[in-house]
Structure 1
Amino acid sequence: LVPGAAAGPAATRWAGSGCRRCTCGGAQDAFLGRAATEATGEFVSGPYALEVLEDADHWLPELAADRVGELVTAHVRTHG
């Protein structure tokens, strides 16, 4: 996570919004590091779920569409 990258009005707006979020990340992602992916929960005040797909890379919607769909559907069913 880059210090200050999630600072400012946008970060404040997201952090206090109470929106429901399901974050999916690939453990083999060369573009978004695991630490950044795991830190996303610090900026969420509503229901939050983090799922790291160990065998996946950056292209989750394309290469793990079924699993991403399952995770998002389950999150929506649970949290509305």
Structure 2
Amino acid sequence: MSGHTLPCRGGQEWQPDASPADQAIAVKLCGSCGLKPECLSFALASNQTSGVWGGTRPQDRRRIRREAKGDAA
């Protein structure tokens, strides 16, 4: 990850108990991050159920998992 400025280094908006408004800020900040795809892949592979990862909120990742399950069936 060296060479990248990560917008997610600190701040309440990244915390698992962040408010919906703070989560929206975090999601927006993810938009400019070059590691967004890797971050989302990690979150999905490690079943992260809280916080903002790869520009997604917990409910977004639940939807992605459901859709992926449906495609695999």
Larger Rg: 1
Structure number with the higher helix fraction is 2
Calculate the TM-score normalised by the size of structure 2.
Answer: 0.29
Structure number with the higher strand fraction is 1
Calculate the TM-score normalised by the size of structure 1.
Answer: 0.28
